[in-house]
Amino acid sequence: MKFFALGRKEINALNKWRAREARTSQLHRLMHLGKETSLKLTENQIHLFMQIKLKY
């Protein structure tokens, strides 16, 4: 496996990806708890929620 130095661009991209994954996993947890109606979700979160709902 070849390693390379990460530049600022790559680190920012990884941070954005990590934040998106964290939001998605939080919505997955809320799906299992069934508390989607008690939240004040933004339009983007509702869209993600509907995508997750299709999986279950």
Mean pLDDT of 14-19: 90
pLDDT of 46 reads 74
Model-wide pTM > 0.85 = no
pLDDT band at 3 (very low <50, low <70, confident <90, very high): low
pLDDT of 44 reads 75
Residue, of 35 and 17, whose pLDDT is higher = 17
For every residue of 19-51, DSSP letters joined together read: HHHHHHHHHHHHHHHT-GGGS---HHHHHHHHH
Domain boundaries, the chain: 8-55
pLDDT of 41 reads 65
